[in-house]
Amino acid sequence: MLLQNALPQQFTATLKSPHGRLLDLRQPQVMGILNVTPDSFYPGSRLGAGSEAALLHRAELMLAAGAAALDVGGYSSRPGADDISPDEEKSRLLPAVAALRREFPQAFISVDTFRAAVAAEAVATGADLINDIGGGTLDAGMLPTVARLRVPYCLMHLKGTPQTMRSLAHYEDDLVLTLLRFFRDQLAALRQAANGQPLPDVLLDPGFGFAKTPAHNHELLRRLPELHHLGYGLLVGLSRKAMVYKPLGLGPETALNGTTALHVLALQGGARLLRVHDVPEARQTIALVTGA
């Protein structure tokens, strides 16, 4: 079966939080998106800062529907989004992490941030994983922080910043080879930061939509198995993105069906964690594709 043949020979089957919680990736899993932002690209995902009741209600629905992890973000990384200060990001993110940890003590919580100081405070508040869109390139302190805290880390490929990435969506070399070199170099930097200590658990994310054209995105999706050469599990974030809805002349609000179709391809390519807005549909897709 293509799904099984696409898996890396070796990958971290279980992510281990410094707080003792586990994320089992022996079978593909779902990560539910919780945006405590006013400007994320999909309006239906916006919870806004301070909406604790709405946050907890959505988290409860996601966990009940089978989400294995929750990913909380306080900084919109959509193309061209406004930059915000670290203090503003913390004011959105940390109360959300604290509320989720209080109400769902067993939940595996990821924080979507590229800032080392924000990540460190979030882990101290109870977060279990750092989901870094910059893969350690946007804050020189991130990889040393990850190594010091020994916290599971999702290393994503990105060129530039959310504010500049649209203008950088060009690659002189083969696209997949470029990503493999990026991941190799950032993993080497993480090993150097670890200074001889064992690495924390790592996932790789090809960064669909980040400094990539629609053609780049679809090429990456077709060639996803090639990214297993480094031996790490893949997180894939396709949910309701422009690569889904723009070719259909739609918007993110009507992109669920297309998202499901592309999730099938991602699972066949060996994705281990789907980062999604719509947990029940993603769980159903995994069940049908894997037979589990």
Catalytic residues: 241, 275
**Rounded distance, CA 155 to CA 186, Å?**
8
- Angle between the 86-103 and 52-64 helix axes, to the nearest 10 degrees? 50
Query: Which whole-number Å values give the CA distances from 220 to 3, 47, 192, 215, 238, in the listed order?
Result: 16, 30, 29, 9, 11
**Rounded distance, CA 209 to CA 268, Å?**
20
**Hey, what amino acid is at 215?**
A
**Rounded distance, CA 85 to CA 17, Å?**
27
**Rounded distance, CA 79 to CA 133, Å?**
12
CB 197 within 8 A of CB 151: no
**Hey, what amino acid is at 132?**
D
Nearest alpha-carbon partner for 266 in 223, 231, 229, 230 = 223
Which 3 state secondary structure label does DSSP give 153? strand
